[in-house]
Amino acid sequence: MALVDTMAPAPTDIPDWLASPERYQPVSDRDGFISRSILAISSVLARFRLDDGQASPLSPSATVKVVLCLSCILLTSLSRNYLFVMIMLAGTLVRACLLPRGALGRVVAGAGASAGLALVIMLPAVALGQAHSALLLTTKALVSTGVTLITTLTTPAADLTRALRVMGVPGVAILTMDLTLRSIVRLGETASEALAALRLRSVGRNADKAASLGGVGGVVLVKAGRSAQETYDAMRCRAFDGEYHVGGREARRGADVAWMLALAAIVALFLHLQGTV
């Protein structure tokens, strides 16, 4: 091709600074924020990539699971009786024991963190003579976060959103949910790539960190906006007309009945211990 020859500059075109190696000694500057942000984002991405929502053979169907989860959280929150909370804790722990190693780690980390936070916040209350509240709240935090994470980790994301559909959440909301989950991964990848590019070029003192970070945020938004446009095109190409048909009726599972009976027992226990029966 003719262009190649015309575009090849003579060697003299190369400026002197480029022809000799760079002797540059950097001064130090604080930019720990960039690396910390990259870490935070990649930990989020790692959690999404794990993709280990796997139902066990004894699990109920997703809809029943969501109902169970919400009921447990509600009852635990309402309970004034420590024995009831302990029973819920025992049940949660037994289920957690049976999780695969990776999922167990995440449940323990998540529930432990929220219980720890509860304890720290409540410590002054112990000094005020409200130790009971402190312990109750900490245990409740352990149970509700544990139940939530166990439910999420044992249910594929697709089943979760479908369960929402069964429970009457409109299709548009589910579509937004699906799109958001997808966007988080895409945005996260773009964001960590852009932050990495910023770090690689931050070889000295950055006078205007806010502008640089604004640039990274802006890049992420513009890129995501473009791909959102493309996504909409892709949806139209597959005959999308604004109505999101979530199909595939969920198979009833044999375990559903047993789990609903268990829920009934829990409610009975709650009422009994709360003293309303």
- Contacts of residues 228-235 at CB distance under 8 Å and 24 or more positions apart, as own/partner, are 228/179, 228/183, 231/179
> Could you identify the residue written with the tokens 């990649």?
42
* Shorter beta-carbon distance to other proteins: residue 157 or 166: 157
CB of 261 to other proteins, least distance (A): 19
In terms of Cα–Cα distance, which of 110, 114, 106, 109 is closest to 49? 106
* Shorter beta-carbon distance to other proteins: residue 58 or 131: 131
CB of 252 to other proteins, least distance (A): 15
CB of 57 to other proteins, least distance (A): 15
CB of 255 to other proteins, least distance (A): 19
* Shorter beta-carbon distance to other proteins: residue 29 or 257: 29
Token pair of 192, please?
A: 């960590």
* Shorter beta-carbon distance to other proteins: residue 41 or 255: 41
CB of 64 to other proteins, least distance (A): 17
Burial of residue 115 (number of CB atoms within 10 Å: 0-12, 13-18, 19+):
buried
CB atoms within 10 A of CB 167: 11
CB of 254 to other proteins, least distance (A): 20
* Shorter beta-carbon distance to other proteins: residue 257 or 267: 267
CB of 12 to other proteins, least distance (A): 10
CB of 258 to other proteins, least distance (A): 19
Q: Report whether 131 contacts 189 (CB < 8 A).
A: no
* Shorter beta-carbon distance to other proteins: residue 58 or 257: 58
* Shorter beta-carbon distance to other proteins: residue 74 or 257: 74
* Shorter beta-carbon distance to other proteins: residue 167 or 257: 167
